[in-house]
Amino acid sequence: MDTNFFIKGLIIGFLLAAPVGPVGILCIRRTLVRGRLHGLASGLGAAVADAVYGFIAAFSLTFVSDFLVAHKTLIRLIGAIVICALGIRTFFSRITTRSEESPDAGNLATDCVSTFFLTLMNPITLLAFTAVFAGVGIEHATHTLEGLLVAGVFVGAASWWLLITTFAGLFHRKISIENLRWLTKIAGISIICFGLFILIDTLL
């Protein structure tokens, strides 16, 4: 029974992390430009944010979820602006060297923290976890089982990011500087479009 809850969480975390959004594009871009460690650090930041939302949904922290839902419009607006700004920064970022950047702790931490907060700025994720958890029958589970479910969510989401950054990392050394520049422009435009979509969808 305990193992079943962990496996359910793993599957949920993997599937909810899989849709390619601005965080996914950002992780792939960082992997191609900086190397797999930077992409994986970015993905782990998103996985931690998913685990936080999973924790809130699993343990029914009503005061937190009520606040997030009540202010979801403001949070989405801020998130949309941040995503657009991130897209603009990505678009204008310079690719000047083919060698892999040194994966120092400071840069890796920045990559991780940036995607953590970017993922948290989408409170709809909380509603998704709440709906999915209700479907797996968590309402009568013990705190231990809820903890295993959340742990599974983190492992599942982290597994997705490990998979996608490993795959992208295979091309890190094979893509020319010019192609990387074009990919950076495309990534920037895609992230801006995601931000504008969220902004328009929130305002309408």
Decide: 17 and 133 in contact? Cβ < 8 Å.
no
Q: At what angle are helices 36-58 and 22-34 packed, to 10 degrees?
A: 150
Under the banding of pLDDT at 50, 70 and 90, the label for residue 52 is very high
- Write down how long the chain is: 204
Cα–Cα nearest to 185, from 52, 107, 87: 87
Place of tokens 């209700």: 134
Which DSSP state fits 121?
T
- In the chain, domain spans: 2-72+101-174
Question: 195: buried, middle or exposed (CB in 10 Å: 19+, 13-18, 0-12)?
Answer: buried
96 or 143, higher pLDDT: 143
The tokens describing 9, both together, are: 């969480």
Alpha-carbon gap, residue 118 to 172, rounded angstroms = 24
Could you report the per-residue pLDDT of 127-186, keeping only the tens digit for each?
Answer: 788 778 777 666 666 778 888 889 999 999 999 999 999 988 887 777 777 777 887 888
Using CB atoms within 10 Å of the CB of residue 135, give its burial: 0 to 12 exposed, 13 to 18 middle, 19+ buried: exposed
Per-residue pLDDT at 140: 64
* Tokens describing residue 88: 């603009």
How far is 87 from 192, CA to CA, in rounded Å? 5
Q: Could you read off the pLDDT of 64-75 as tens digits, one per residue?
A: 777 777 777 888
DSSP string, 55-89: HHHHTT-HHHHHHHHHTHHHHHHHHHHHHHHHHHH
Whether the predicted pLDDT of 94 surpasses 80: no
